[in-house]
């Protein structure tokens, strides 16, 4: 196993609020790297106070709603959400998500 190459895992690390996720297990101190998938969209809105979220659309299409404005996205698009913005997404999507700095649950506000 290489310390530089990480394969997508078969098992899911989380399944909540309308999406599933699989962490690559990079052990990076500076970022999280994961695959996020949804068939319908995120069931909540998130406000992340410290992390930048960068979603690369691997498959599918949908809409990101960021600060109450809608932004359509398709395979090949990169959606970058700086800290302090409120967002959710809808659609059928498989995405690579990179959070910098590393995400921790205590720095996020969830709105139902």
> Tens digit of pLDDT for each residue in 49-101?
999 999 999 999 999 999 999 999 999 999 999 999 999 999 999 999 999 99
Let me know if residue 79 belongs to a domain: yes
pLDDT at 112 exceeding the cut of 90 = no
Domain contains 94: yes
Mean pLDDT of the chain: 95
Q: What is the CATH number of the domain that holds 47?
A: 2.60.120.10
77 in a structural domain: yes
- Asked if residue 74 belongs to a domain, the reply is yes
* Domain range for 42: 16-104
47: in domain: yes
Q: Is residue 40 part of a domain?
A: yes
Counting the structural domains of the chain, the total is: 1
Question: Does the residue 10 lie in any domain?
Answer: no
pLDDT given at position 33: 97
What local confidence, expressed as pLDDT, does residue 22 receive? 97
Beta strands in the chain (DSSP E): 14-16, 19-23, 32-38, 45-48, 52-66, 69-74, 78-81, 86-100, 108-111
């Amino acid at each position: 196993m290489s310390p530089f190459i990480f394969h997508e895992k078969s098992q899911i690390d989380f399944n909540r609020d309308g999406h599933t996720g699989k962490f690559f297990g990079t052990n990076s101190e500076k970022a999280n790297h994961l695959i996020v998938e949804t068939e319908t969209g995120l069931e909540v809105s998130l406000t992340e106070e410290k992390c930048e979220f960068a979603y690369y659309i691997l498959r599918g299409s949908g809409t990101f709603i960021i600060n109450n404005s809608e932004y359509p996205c398709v395979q090949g698009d990169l959606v970058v959400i700086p800290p302090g913005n409120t967002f959710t997404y809808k659609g059928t999507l498989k995405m690579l998500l990179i959070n910098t700095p590393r995400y921790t649950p205590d720095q996020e506000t969830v709105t139902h």
